[in-house]
Amino acid sequence: MRPSGRAANELRPVSLEVDCNRYAEGSCLAKFGHTHVICTASVEESVPGWMKGSGRGWITAEYGMLPRSTGSRTGREAARGKQSGRTQEIQRLIGRSLRSVVDLTGFGERQIRIDCDVIQADGGTRTAAITGAYVALYRAFQLMQEMKAIGAIPFTDQVAAISCGIYQGSAVLDLDYDEDSAAETDANFVLTASGKVVEVQATAEEAPFPRAELDAMMALAEEGVGQLAQRQREALGVA
């Protein structure tokens, strides 16, 4: 029995609210239960110096948490003067995940910056961030298309992410904070709507685990990402 009462393969209530920010070219407030993440996509009309003349664009991501997004207050990274290793890991993951499903030659020599800011955190912030960032980026591409800046929307696939874990010996989907703290194993899956792998990160929290458990978590993740991809399409109003 999960603390939340959910079935092993049951997502938390998911909501993807597009255009939550009036300035960003694309934005989405992603909620996975009590985990709330504001995702924005900001389009800049130039690329970093090392890419000039390449004919390709670039997508990069930054991630942050409001100090009191967490149960007890976390020190503000801007005040400490540096981003934690965890923050950097997550923002690199978000950037890679999006770039893997975009044709970088398809939107000119532009840089798109994704910002994922966690307003409230109850586990799974990186997976909500990736799932919402896809939507924000899609909205930005739609705007660019509308403005005739690009022809087609340069996504080559659709991406979303979900966590799984081994909780009291069983694989479960979409861990909240209580489950995450108690899980024996924790894994994050970034998958495409078509079932391909973008990124898998599985970590033994307490002790090494048998490969069968990885397979069980992967199966749950495929199911979960399928549902998330459906929510993304609904939020975007695309088939």
Tokens of 79: 């005040």
Q: Rule CB under 8 A: say whether 148 interacts with its own copies.
A: no
Q: Which is nearer to its own copies, 142 or 188 (CB)?
A: 188
Tokens 């709507």: give the residue. Answer: 193
Backbone angle region of 76, left / alpha / beta, with phi > 0 → left and psi within -120 to 50 → alpha? beta
Between 159 and 188, how does the x/- string for binding to its own copies read (CB under 8 A)?
x---------------------------x-
Amino acid occupying residue 46: S
Determine phi and psi for 125, rounding to 5 degrees.
-70, -35
Which residues in 52-81 contact its own copies (CB under 8 A)? 62, 64, 66-73, 76-79, 81
19 HSE (CA, 13 A, CB side): 7
For 111-137, b where at least 16 C-beta lie within 10 A, e where not — what string? bbbbbbbbebbbbbbbbbbbbbbbbbb
Which residues in 70-129 contact its own copies (CB under 8 A)? 70-73, 76-79, 81-89, 91-92, 96, 100-101, 113, 115, 117, 119-120
Other residues' Cβ atoms within 10 Å of the Cβ of residue 33 = 20
Q: Which is nearer to its own copies, 1 or 79 (CB)?
A: 79
Using CB under 8 A, list all residues that contact its own copies.
Answer: 21-24, 27, 34, 38, 40, 42, 44, 62, 64, 66-73, 76-79, 81-89, 91-92, 96, 100-101, 113, 115, 117, 119-120, 156-157, 159, 187, 191-192, 194-204, 206-211, 213-214, 218
